A and B are shown apart, each in its own frame.
Chain A
Amino acid sequence: MTTNLVLALTIGGLFASGVYLMLSRNLIRVILGFLLAGHGINLLLLSTGTYGAPPIVGENTDGEQLSDPMPQAFILTSIVISLAVSTFLLAMAYRNYTVTKEPELEDDPENDEFADADAGAGEE
């Protein structure tokens, strides 16, 4: 397996910007960040096998180099999972918007308004 500098930098860049976006309180940014980081990891998965060669066709391969199908199967699964999770995240962002009229999450002042720790917080 040869390492590809451009690919490595792309993966690193995607992952870094994805994580940066996910740290935001804006749910839309979280979704974008998750998708970017997910793409970074899909590329990482792809780069672990042999790629850039013909896929497996039939059984007679004539000894030529073939692409590794396993990472592609992993990526396919990972894409499906990303789809499900981003659907959920979009629904959540929309719900948050309808409830609060803000794309960002609510403030959480010392958890004061929480079911459990509400008025009793800090009272001893």
Chain B
Amino acid sequence: MTWLLPMAIILPITGAALTLVASRRPRVQRAISVTIISIQLAVEVTMLVSVERTGPIVMHVGGWTAPLGVTLVADELAAFMLVVSTIVALAVLIYGISQGIADREVGPEVPISIFHPTFLILVTGISNAFVAGDLFNLFVSFEILLTASYVLLTSGGTKERLRAGAPYIVVSLLSSLIFLAAIAMIYGATGTVNMADLSVKLAALPAGIVAVLQAMLLVAFGVKAAVFPMSQWLPDSYPSAPAPVTAVFAGLLTKVGIYAIIRVQTLLFPTGSYGTLLMIAALLTMVVGILGAVSQSGIKRMLSFTLVSHIGYMLFGIALGSETGLGAAIYYVAHHILVQTALFLAVGLIERVAGTTVLARLGGLAAAAPILAILFFIPAMNLAGVPPLSGFLGKVGLFEAGIQDGRVLALILVIGGALTSLLTLYAIIRVWGRAFWRPAPEVTGRIEGDSLGTESGRSLAVRIRAQREAQKRVTHEKAAHLPIGMVGATTAVVAITLMMTIAAGPIYGLAERAAATLSDRSVYVDAVLDSGVPAPPGATQPAGGGG
């Protein structure tokens, strides 16, 4: 089964090359990327089954054994994250193709269609990050996915996208530099970057040095995961991208950061140091994020703030450090990837039907597009944690772990989590009430309330009203003609979020087993260090092996 492991990376990168070659043939490009990601999903499901049955899969690339070479490792957590992320990638790809994002880019302005290659490179980076067995490979995969995300975020090169993309790019660059500096210092202190090897060697270092190394890694990953003091870039940059791009970013990119934090906290620094600091950061991330969401007037920005806010829940589970907490956090990560993607895809549909995502201009969507209403309502309630959906199950798990922990701070976090959940419900209900339930014409009267006094204002109002009426008809028509692929992809993601509820037993069990593997580090460490060709210490490697 070892050969399956690199396939998760080789498939999408090959796909990226092929789609680049076929850049003038959109239909071929589409066929290639959908096929490649479907095969990748099949491979990863097989891998998950295999990992469940026989333990972690380890591969030493090029035959160079563990502390020296590049090691790829898939334990339960990595395999689970691979499967979830590829499901999301496939759904978003189909949605994007259906929306025509890829085709519209071929024109005089853009010489070649770059959506498919870039998207596949993004998928490569994400997959590589999950299976990376050493810190430097993790850094490289971060760079792969970030560079692809820069291109996707600024695609089209309009003034708005450049303006929104620049802060994201600068912040990401800085966090990458911090990460690389951390790797340099870790290598200087221990002489290795292999995570299994590090977990043994870091224990022998003085506590002060370990604290510095851990802090640098946490800062670097915290920026990527949008943890509170370092989260301001996210709501500013995500909403300006096209809907499918925002959906895949929101679903996956921050979660890669969370995955890295889980890995580092459990494998490299299992002593639970910085637990208190992480808990405070989690609390602030939750509360500050959701207060931002409540005050937004655009759906996309509101959702970006809930994204930041709910990162706090995952961080809470990690900060507790207990097996229950980790299990709940892993389940919550999977739940949140799917729900956040579903919501952003649904918002893309709203934008297509109504032409805007500004709350003040929306209305009457429930009547105009009932299917869209359902597709938004289910993940929205799920995000808020309404029982019996998966968001509720994840939160219950986290609160249970928090109460088990018993520290005052953990209890405060439980209260903060419940409050955040209620405020999420409030923010979501506000969107639901305004965009879907209230009748559309009402908004027309309110918007022009101030300008009715003047003659020009009145004629303007009449004109705008006529426009509104016309738009209402268009809305109904557009809702009837939503592309089947967009609706289908969104429905699929929503259906999978429901699966997380219906099959919660087995999936939660999987998350708990993943947490158990993480807590018992020896499973991972032994799998990496003992597999492959057993070489006596000091034995020379065959020359010319290549890296």
> Could you tell me which A residues sit within 8 Å of B by CB distance?
1, 15, 18-19, 22, 27, 30, 34, 37-38, 41, 44-45, 47-49, 58-59, 70-71, 73-74, 77-78, 81, 84-85, 88-89, 92, 95-96, 99-100, 105-106, 108, 111, 113-124
- A-B contacts besides A18-B177, A30-B170, 13 pairs, CB < 8 Å: A58-B543, A74-B136, A77-B140, A81-B143, A84-B143, A88-B150, A95-B157, A99-B157, A106-B159, A113-B160, A116-B298, A119-B358, A120-B297
CB neighbours of A47 from chain B (8 A): 188
Across the interface, do B357 and A116 meet the contact criterion of CB distance under 8 Å?
Answer: yes
Across the interface, do A99 and B158 meet the contact criterion of CB distance under 8 Å?
Answer: yes
CB neighbours of B357 from chain A (8 A): 115-116
Across the interface, do A92 and B143 meet the contact criterion of CB distance under 8 Å?
Answer: no
Across the interface, do A38 and B177 meet the contact criterion of CB distance under 8 Å?
Answer: yes
Across the interface, do B547 and A73 meet the contact criterion of CB distance under 8 Å?
Answer: yes
Q: What CA separation (Å) do A78 and B136 show in the bound complex?
A: 10
CB neighbours of B236 from chain A (8 A): 111
CB neighbours of A116 from chain B (8 A): 239-240, 298-301, 357-358
CB neighbours of B296 from chain A (8 A): 117
Q: What CA separation (Å) do A66 and B22 show in the bound complex?
A: 47
| B359 at the A interface (CB under 8 A) | yes
Knowing A30-B170, A81-B140, A99-B157, the reply to whether A71 touches B162 (Cβ < 8 A) is no
Q: What CA separation (Å) do A81 and B145 show in the bound complex?
A: 12
Across the two chains, which residue of chain B brings its CB closest to A45?
A: B184
9 closest residue pairs by CB, A with B: A116-B298, A48-B188, A120-B358, A120-B360, A116-B300, A117-B298, A116-B239, A45-B184, A44-B184
Q: What CA separation (Å) do A48 and B177 show in the bound complex?
A: 16
Closest chain A CB from B484 CB (angstroms): 25
**Of the candidates A59, A71, A106, A123, which one forms a contact with B163 in the assembled complex, judged by CB atoms under 8 Å apart?**
A106
Across the two chains, which residue of chain A brings its CB closest to B151?
A: A88
Q: What CA separation (Å) do A27 and B150 show in the bound complex?
A: 15
Across the interface, do A84 and B147 meet the contact criterion of CB distance under 8 Å?
Answer: yes
Dominant SS at the A interface?
helix
Across the interface, do B184 and A121 meet the contact criterion of CB distance under 8 Å?
Answer: no
Interface string of B130-159 (1 = CB under 8 A from A): 000000100010010001001100100111
Across the interface, do B154 and A92 meet the contact criterion of CB distance under 8 Å?
Answer: yes
Q: What are 8 residue pairs bridging A and B, where the CB atoms are less than 8 Å apart in the complex?
A: A45-B187, A58-B543, A70-B193, A77-B140, A81-B147, A95-B157, A99-B157, A115-B239
Knowing A92-B154, A99-B159, A117-B297, the reply to whether A123 touches B360 (Cβ < 8 A) is yes
Q: What CA separation (Å) do A55 and B159 show in the bound complex?
A: 49
Across the interface, do B360 and A108 meet the contact criterion of CB distance under 8 Å?
Answer: no
CB neighbours of A48 from chain B (8 A): 184-185, 187-188
CB neighbours of B169 from chain A (8 A): 89, 92
Q: What CA separation (Å) do A80 and B165 show in the bound complex?
A: 22
Across the interface, do A34 and B184 meet the contact criterion of CB distance under 8 Å?
Answer: no
Knowing A105-B163, A108-B163, A119-B360, the reply to whether A85 touches B173 (Cβ < 8 A) is yes
CB neighbours of B298 from chain A (8 A): 114-118, 120-121
**Of the candidates B159, B160, B177, B359, which one forms a contact with A37 in the assembled complex, judged by CB atoms under 8 Å apart?**
B177
CB neighbours of A58 from chain B (8 A): 543
CB neighbours of B492 from chain A (8 A): none
CB neighbours of A18 from chain B (8 A): 177
| B454 at the A interface (CB under 8 A) | no
Q: What CA separation (Å) do A106 and B164 show in the bound complex?
A: 10
Closest chain A CB from B217 CB (angstroms): 15
Knowing A59-B543, A105-B162, the reply to whether A34 touches B299 (Cβ < 8 A) is no
Q: What CA separation (Å) do A58 and B188 show in the bound complex?
A: 25
Q: What CA separation (Å) do A95 and B442 show in the bound complex?
A: 42
Across the two chains, which residue of chain A brings its CB closest to B302?
A: A116
Q: What CA separation (Å) do A123 and B240 show in the bound complex?
A: 20
